[in-house]
Structures are given as C-alpha cells and as structure tokens.
Amino acid sequence: MCGRFAFKNVQLLLKEFGVDAPPDFGKLGPEFAELSSSDRYNIAPTQPVIAIAVRDGKKQAGFYQWGLVPSWASDPSIGQKLINARGETLAEKPSFRGAYKYHRCVVPASGFYEWKGARGSKQPCFIERRDRRPLAFAGLYEIWERGEGYLETVSIVTTEANDLLSELHHRMPVILDEGNVDRWIDPRTPGSPNLNSLIRPYPSEKMRFYPVSAAVGNVQNDGPELLVPVGTNSLFD
C-alpha cells in the first residue's frame, strides 16, 4: 500500500514530467494555505497532493485531496477509506471503475515510506529509486460536486509488492516507467483492458530502501531530517 510519501525539489520534479507547477491551494480552503508547492517530506492521507492529468485536452498539474470521493458518494468522508485503489479490481469496484475508464492521473513523488517489523517495534523505511529519479505513482481522480461546492480527489493504485519490498509489506504502489506515463493518463484510452498490463510491480533492482527516524510516524513532522538514514545498517547499496 502507500500511506505516506515525500515530494521534494518540486520544480525539478515537475519538469521531469513536462508540466508547470500548479497555482496555489486556494480552492482547498484556508487550512491548506501554508502548504504551498514547497518541498514536503511527510505527506499523509486527506492532505492535498499534486497530481498530473489531462484536463481540457492539456497535460497539467493540479492539487487534489488524497482520498478518492466517487462522484456518486453521499458523504465525502468516504475518501478517508479510499486512499489506495487495488489495481487488480479497478474495473470491477464501483468506487474506482468510472475513474479507471477516463479519470487517470499520475502522482509524482521522491519516495514513500513503509514500516518493517512487528506491531510495537516497527521501523519506518524510506523507499526510492536507486537512481533517485522521481517516482510516477499511477493514480485515479474524481470530481465530487454538491451544490456550489466541489472536491477534486485522488487515489494511488497498488499492486503486489516486488521481491525487495515484500519484506516490508505485501502491497506497493504501481510505479510507471517514463514511457508509460502519457499512456496511462490519456483519457482517450479506456482503462480496461488496454492498461491492465501496466498494473505490475516495479522491478526490485531499480529500487532501494533504508531505515529512517520514527518521527515520520507523526504527521506534524515534515522536514528533510525525516529522510536521513538512521541505525548501524543505514547505508544501502
């Protein structure tokens, strides 16, 4: 699964995807005003995230609340339970099948966190590409409207973990190769079965992870120190 991730070097990261930084968080409300488009090291569910989609015929970055709210939902709080979308059943689940057809996006990230070990003694780890280039999480977005208000929300698609990450968790986000990003977000291509082949584990040999501070467990902590390796086995080749 994916429940926390980091997003740093924003301008450079978005340049990799060929888009400009989105405008501010105005439409998300004043409580998010301080989050701007600066580096973030501990992004959590229900917070705004940057996602890239084709909207109005143009590939563009925008802000979406993390936790998908289906257009038919009566209560937007359902989004708290839909931060991840199981890739194997996207075409079947009512919450995701509409978005999988035409509302696909990419959530860019520098890396993400998972916890290793038994309950009560779990060690957080930061996961990234070996070459430290940006990750492209496959995502889905929806637009939920009620009266004059609306929400634009997103969910991160998951798949079985690769061999490397299986020791941390049995699921991982679907990470797209550079050549498949535009294919995934193209709304002219219905999702199933055309894109099912992209829902697969990212190769183990292209990834690495290392232990980080337990401070990442508190969503109030959001600084670069969260990415600093800790422990005697903190350096991974």
Structural domains in the chain, CATH included, are 5-227 (3.90.1680.10)
Indicate whether 108 pLDDT > 80: yes
- The mean per-residue pLDDT over the stretch 127-139 comes to 97
pLDDT in tens, 13-66: 888 899 987 765 445 555 555 555 578 999 999 999 999 999 999 999 999 999
- pLDDT above 90: percentage of residues in the chain: 75
192-217 pLDDT per residue, tens: 888 999 999 999 999 999 999 999 99
Percent of the residues in the chain that have a pLDDT greater than 70, as a whole number: 90
Supply the residues annotated as catalytic.
2, 114
Residue 30 is predicted with a pLDDT of 52
Using only C-alpha atoms, what is the Rg of the chain?
17
Task: Give pLDDT, residue 20.
Answer: 82
Calculate the average pLDDT of the chain. Answer: 90
Please tell me the pTM assigned to this model.
0.92
What is residue 26's predicted lDDT score, i.e. its pLDDT?
44
